[in-house]
Structure 1
Amino acid sequence: MKKILVAGALALALSGCASQQPEAPFTLTLAHINDTHSHFDPSDVPLTLDGRRVYTRLGGFPRLLSQANSLREQATLADQPLLFVHGGGAWQGSGYFQLNQGAMNADLLGRLGLDAMVLGDPEFALDNRRLAVFIDSVGVPVLAANLNTEREPVLQGAANLYPYVLYAFDGNDKERLASMEDAGRDPVVAVFGLVPEALGELGANTGGLRFEHEVETAQRTVDALRAQGVKHIVALTHLGLERDQRLASRVNGIDLIVGGRSESLLGDFASLGLGKQPPYAQQVTNPDGRAKTCVVQAGHFGQAMGRVSVTFSRDGRVTRCEGGNTLLADGEFYRDVRRADSHRLSAAEQQRLNEVVAADPRITVVAEDAELRRHIDEQYQPALNAAYGTVIGHVPATLSHGLPERDGSQSELAPLVAASQLYWVNTPEVRAVTGRRADLALVAASAVGTALEPGELKQGKVRQELLPGATPLSLVSVTGRDLAGLLLETINGALADDLRAAAFPYTAGLRYQFDETRKGAGFLRTLEVRQGAQWVRVDPNASYTVVMNADQASGKDGWHTLYQTQQVLTDRIDLARVNGRLTAFPVARLSKGQDGTQVHYINQPLNCGAGGVRCDTEVEAFIDYVQERRPLLSPLADTGITLNRW
């Protein structure tokens, strides 16, 4: 039988079976997390405490479980209703996911004792078959009211995938209901889920799934639930804070939105060094001008847990909504991210910070659940340590990655990747093989796979997440004129269209100022190459040796100029290791074939799949650069890129 999860199907569900609900006011507490992204271990985070910068560890699933159990105990003692929910974004994000994909998430999420979770776009990162296995094995009701599975056989029969779930409460006693017919006079809370409606356009692995309109689905769902007699309705979404607020302003009848995706740590955490975001538990007026919807979200990586208390009037309207996010700390504080004994605070300093934390409701010290910690350490951590290898350096603060924004922010990682390539190809060992010296490096935004979080940086993080794909580095000569053309091509394309944003060029040894005159169009005001200690204007007729990865050197990701300049003749060299020995593979020219760009080598072709051949010189360059030049990996003082947006 076909299973359709759109809210239109709700109208068929038990219309006319509304129960007589109690008239007394009702207060519900929700504990919530979102965007945990497979961060099962705690995260190293720099904080400001008592006016000083210190490093501690926040979150991790054993600590989340301890906090959830503590809230459950408090609710039991007070005989108060409590739900624990997840706002989606559980997948991706760590080496654990790279190794275990959805399986470890299913195991550990099930151990948290969640009452519901919503699907987010990360959960569609693999394929529908593996998503179906996750849904059926996680042991937590998985919600997605606007997900239509009618044309996707793999998910059509997913028994644990619902548009909504119902919970009846008798004080702290909670019962999941099959329908409102079973409610009696106990207050009932409905929790429904919404996934991003744009997933059908953005997700490459969604198969026959269809994603229905968020606002329309939400209103139909609420109307159907109200018709059944449900007075208390929670939306569990993975849309982002802005779209949650929009949803609240366009839909009547949602009492609380528990969100995810934008990873918003709502509240003022500026004095702790984590910034200030919109207030927690904002209330947004519904389109009817009377009712209000409370909106909450709890940051990312399980570093914090939100707790919101909602009180309803006798007719089911929200009269009070309050709470906050609480950072979950391990209680150990260091002056350096490397956390060596020499970086420990003195006993007096430690005691002082413990007192500061105890007095601050935004942060608390929580011990890890010992059983869950042991389970992770025994079942999963050995494989992670084996796959990710040794520590090559430390990251003191998050290194971001993305396109330059209008506020001037840029990727902090891509310039470091470019710097590593320029450094490495100019080392004596590599120059002995190539016989050449590179003038500059170019890196496409697409070449960098992830941001880097504070803490240890292991080889496997670079190899499997930061620079995945085992891509060789290439050296190729480019004229100043073609270099300017390449930059204009990639910058204009990236700024014009989000789908071409991956082409954006980051640099080392080169700097430019680009003036945007309209969307997708602009000019290079300055273009300079570094020569010794000086910056010199690029000569259109001069030839420059450029290092980049082989994908970009072949014109992929919109770098078409490089393909065009190599169709007839090129002096390009690709670099790989053969039986451990660094080897240069000279290229004659490029052409187009049925499988895309074809690289024609002069002598022996480079076959990255052959035995004894390692093509990941891009990874090797970054690892060597960190170990030899920047073991404390921080952003470069100057990226060389200035964008003047129109």
Structure 2
Amino acid sequence: MPVTAQSHQPRRSRRTKRLLAAAATVVTAGALAAAALPASANAGETHRGNDGRGHGHGHGHGRYQDVQLLSFNDLHGNLEPPAGSSGRVTELQPDGTTKTVDAGGIEYLATHLREAREGNRYSITAAGGDMVGASPLLSGLFHDEPTIEALNKLDLDVTSVGNHEFDEGAKELARLQNGGCHPTEGCYTDKEFKGADFPYLAANVLDEKTKKPILKPYWVWKQKGVKVGFIGVTLEGTPDIVSAEGVKGLSFKDEVETINKYAKVLQRQGVKSIVALVHEGGFPASSSYNYDCDSPGAGDGISGPIADIAKNVTPKVDALVTGHTHAAYVCTIPDPAGKPRMVTSAASFGRLYTDTTLTYDRATGDIARTAVKSANHVVTRDVPKAPDMTRLIDKWGTLAAPIGNRPIGYISGDINRDGTESPLGDLIADAQLAYGRTQDPETDLALMNPGGIRAPLTYTATGGEGDGVVTYAEGFTVQPFANTVNLKDYTGAQLIQVLKEQVSGPNEAAPKILQISSGLTYTLDLTRTGADRVVTDSIRLNGSPIDENATYRVASNSFLAGGGDGFPTLGEGANELVGADDLTALEQYLTANSSATAPITPPAADRITVVR
């Protein structure tokens, strides 16, 4: 039973505004108006090829030409190497054992991609969405301008949108595409933000008024007679996992229907080689990035939404680059005609990249799919750092340092976010319960969605600021969304229903197990199915059974309190009180409960009894 590790809340600008005001000496004023939504592009788009990226490869100028497709997904603004488990991948060894490898960091990703392109004149670099959003402080503090700047330097050619591209709404996404300084905070440096050099594709994201895509639906790469079209979509369920404000005025259409529609458009324009960039994913049978999911007995190799999408997308599409689930896989899934088709995903946070060889048939203009090869590669940290990326990190790091380096707490060891119930999940829930009680002493418990926890707290941080010290930057990386901590009243019956919604309804196939504050306990029986996996008569609060007719005061972040992540009952609470943002709650808790001589010990994560 896979448990998703996505987070789907909006980052509000008010935290950034408040913090930057405190460090005004490092910010240049002068706000410019936000970029308007770009017009729909229904005509064929032709953008830069990759001249100068190599010296030819494959079959030369004969009938067949190898085209290199480098791809990655779910970067989430991780410019610096991710910490802890977020910065590692699992590698399957020849003897069947596994080992973990440190991976990620834009300085290393740039080096790996540039080395991979050497000798490949026909090379395209594409991405599967969530390039920004839920970003660490280095990027998130500046509304992800640093990440767009890094992707420009990386020579990214094209990407689909993901759900996190809508964290701050369509107008902010348009600004990231088109440029211009932030509408309320102005320019962060002495140069105006120029926007993305690459197109964001949003074929299935329509303006509700015009009924047209808010960004280009597709893009065509051309190089010496070779043409490859790209169609970009995000998951249709984006409105369910992003705040209502982030998707206001937008509609999200079916992924398969949209891809099939634009595949026909591209074919009419003479583009027969087509790749779909799909921000939706699956769950591989193995957590190892190099697992052979086409091996005998592996079935389709991946389960989840992308499997159904891949089986129904028109055979006109030759490969699918996917994302969203932060998983790693390179699988073939039969298209509707029964022909194998490559489906890939490169984990997340820049830890992997996928290298796919598409053999282009100049006679037909199509991909000879029997010759398609693909593999995921680790972004190891044993290669030279790309100097231009180091300069970029240093530039933005200097601006962020007055805010990010401030200590907010101390820990005695790594506090991880892994598992059905995680130590960090318990800590955050306890922090929100403590904060809730400062607002209303009658607060009974707190609930935290696992996807809102973006990184672990590590005892020795990458920046080396000191063993056990938790800085504001690290706290921001854990909780980057600036959701408020809200209090609501629920009946005991509603509270029981909320716990059952973790494993039923929209969450049945990929459960989202809420992290719970101290005092709440229950049993999760994974041998059962559906809502019955939550054992009702095991639910206790401070040792007493939940009274279905009693009223309980519950703290949760504003995204959950609004019914997000498939918890509609949480949206039905009464007597709402809106508090400060969730990082403030975490900071207050760490400050009050830890010191250099008495650091916080990682919680035991023993509140949920799991039966397997």
- Which range, TM-score by smaller chain? 0.5 to 0.7
1:512 aligns with: 522
**Contact (CA 8 Å) 2:403, 2:473: kept in 1 or not?**
no
Sequence identity of aligned pairs in percent? 20
Q: Distance in 2 between matches of 1:295 and 1:452?
A: 27
Q: Distance in 2 between matches of 1:226 and 1:608?
A: 52
Please list, as runs of the form range in 1=range in 2, the aligned pairs for 1:347-496 lying within 5 A after superposition. Answer: 365-384=382-401, 386-387=403-404, 389-390=406-407, 392-393=409-410, 396=414, 398-400=416-418, 409-418=420-429, 442-446=445-449, 449-453=452-456, 455=458, 456=461, 457-462=470-475, 465-466=478-479, 487-492=495-500, 494-496=502-504
Once the two structures are TM-superposed, the CA of residue 523 in structure 1 deviates from its matched residue by: 5.9
Q: Which amino acid aligns with 1:525?
A: D
2:373 aligns with: 322
CA 1:74–1:514: 2 relative to 1, 3 Å: closer
Secondary structure class of the residue paired with 2:118:
helix
Q: Which amino acid aligns with 2:221?
A: Y
Once the two structures are TM-superposed, the CA of residue 629 in structure 1 deviates from its matched residue by: 9.6
Once the two structures are TM-superposed, the CA of residue 288 in structure 1 deviates from its matched residue by: 2.2
1:254 aligns with: 317
1:238 and 2:206 correspond: no
CA 1:492–1:58: 2 relative to 1, 3 Å: closer
Secondary structure class of the residue paired with 1:326:
strand
Secondary structure class of the residue paired with 1:151:
coil
Please list, as runs of the form range in 1=range in 2, the aligned pairs for 1:267-286 lying within 5 A after superposition. Answer: 280=330, 282-286=331-335
2:63 aligns with: 24
Q: Which amino acid aligns with 1:417?
A: I
**Contact (CA 8 Å) 2:486, 2:576: kept in 1 or not?**
no
After superposition, what is the alpha-carbon deviation per residue over 1:313-371, rounded to whole angstroms, capped at 9, x for unaligned?
554331212232121222xxxxxxxxxxxxxxxxxxxxxxxxxxxxxxxxxx3221112
Secondary structure class of the residue paired with 1:413:
helix
Q: Distance in 2 between matches of 1:28 and 1:61?
A: 24
Q: Distance in 2 between matches of 1:539 and 1:164?
A: 52
Secondary structure class of the residue paired with 1:414:
helix
1:142 aligns with: 200
2:79 aligns with: 40
After superposition, what is the alpha-carbon deviation per residue over 1:438-458, rounded to whole angstroms, capped at 9, x for unaligned?
9x9722125983232364342
**Contact (CA 8 Å) 1:421, 1:548: kept in 2 or not?**
no
Q: Distance in 2 between matches of 1:265 and 1:147?
A: 26
Once the two structures are TM-superposed, the CA of residue 628 in structure 1 deviates from its matched residue by: 7.0
1:636 and 2:604 correspond: yes
After superposition, what is the alpha-carbon deviation per residue over 1:514-537, rounded to whole angstroms, capped at 9, x for unaligned?
67998557763335577xxxxx66
Please list, as runs of the form range in 1=range in 2, the aligned pairs for 1:158-173 lying within 5 A after superposition. Answer: 161-170=215-224
Please list, as runs of the form range in 1=range in 2, the aligned pairs for 1:48-63 lying within 5 A after superposition. Answer: 57-63=102-108
Secondary structure class of the residue paired with 1:513:
strand
Secondary structure class of the residue paired with 2:517:
strand
Once the two structures are TM-superposed, the CA of residue 133 in structure 1 deviates from its matched residue by: 0.8
Q: Distance in 1 between matches of 2:396 and 2:345?
A: 31
**Contact (CA 8 Å) 1:43, 1:454: kept in 2 or not?**
no
**Contact (CA 8 Å) 1:195, 1:239: kept in 2 or not?**
yes
Q: Distance in 1 between matches of 2:480 and 2:216?
A: 37
After superposition, what is the alpha-carbon deviation per residue over 1:217-245, rounded to whole angstroms, capped at 9, x for unaligned?
22222223223332321112212144443
Q: Distance in 1 between matches of 2:477 and 2:429?
A: 18
**Contact (CA 8 Å) 1:415, 1:508: kept in 2 or not?**
yes
Q: Distance in 2 between matches of 1:451 and 1:63?
A: 21
After superposition, what is the alpha-carbon deviation per residue over 1:529-567, rounded to whole angstroms, capped at 9, x for unaligned?
77xxxxx66698xx99x9974989xx9879999x99xxx
Secondary structure class of the residue paired with 2:75:
coil
1:113 and 2:161 correspond: no
CA 1:444–1:630: 2 relative to 1, 3 Å: farther
**Contact (CA 8 Å) 1:258, 1:296: kept in 2 or not?**
yes
1:300 and 2:345 correspond: no
Q: Which amino acid aligns with 1:252?
A: P
Q: Which has the higher contact order (CA 8 A, sep 6+)?
A: 2
Count of residue correspondences: 490
Q: Distance in 2 between matches of 1:551 and 1:211?
A: 25
515-524 or 187-196, which deviates more: 515-524
Determine which structure has more spread, i.e. the larger CA radius of gyration: 1
CA 1:215–1:631: 2 relative to 1, 3 Å: same
After superposition, what is the alpha-carbon deviation per residue over 1:104-144, rounded to whole angstroms, capped at 9, x for unaligned?
23222111111111111110110222111111111112222
Please list, as runs of the form range in 1=range in 2, the aligned pairs for 1:74-153 lying within 5 A after superposition. Answer: 74-75=119-120, 80-93=121-134, 94-136=136-178, 137-149=195-207, 151=209
CA 1:551–1:296: 2 relative to 1, 3 Å: closer
2:537 aligns with: 525
Q: Distance in 2 between matches of 1:396 and 1:23?
A: 56
Q: Distance in 2 between matches of 1:123 and 1:539?
A: 39
1:335 aligns with: none
After superposition, what is the alpha-carbon deviation per residue over 1:138-190, rounded to whole angstroms, capped at 9, x for unaligned?
1112222333347369x98x7xx4222222333xxxxxxxxxxxxxxx22222
Q: Distance in 2 between matches of 1:473 and 1:147?
A: 30
Q: Which amino acid aligns with 1:259?
A: T
1:357 aligns with: none
Secondary structure class of the residue paired with 2:371:
strand
Q: Distance in 1 between matches of 2:457 and 2:145?
A: 26
Structure 2: 5+ residue stretches without partners: 1-36, 46-60, 179-194, 283-303, 462-469
Q: Distance in 2 between matches of 1:510 and 1:451?
A: 23
Q: Distance in 1 between matches of 2:278 and 2:436?
A: 47
1:194 aligns with: 233
1:620 aligns with: 588
CA 1:105–1:509: 2 relative to 1, 3 Å: same
After superposition, what is the alpha-carbon deviation per residue over 1:616-636, rounded to whole angstroms, capped at 9, x for unaligned?
455322454465799586562
**Contact (CA 8 Å) 2:89, 2:351: kept in 1 or not?**
no
**Contact (CA 8 Å) 1:472, 1:616: kept in 2 or not?**
no
Q: Which amino acid aligns with 1:508?
A: S
Secondary structure class of the residue paired with 1:319:
helix
**Contact (CA 8 Å) 1:462, 1:468: kept in 2 or not?**
no
After superposition, what is the alpha-carbon deviation per residue over 1:477-522, rounded to whole angstroms, capped at 9, x for unaligned?
x9xxx99657425324555555999995723244333679985577
**Contact (CA 8 Å) 1:85, 1:115: kept in 2 or not?**
yes
Structure 1: 5+ residue stretches without partners: 12-21, 171-185, 267-279, 331-364, 402-408, 531-535, 565-591, 600-606
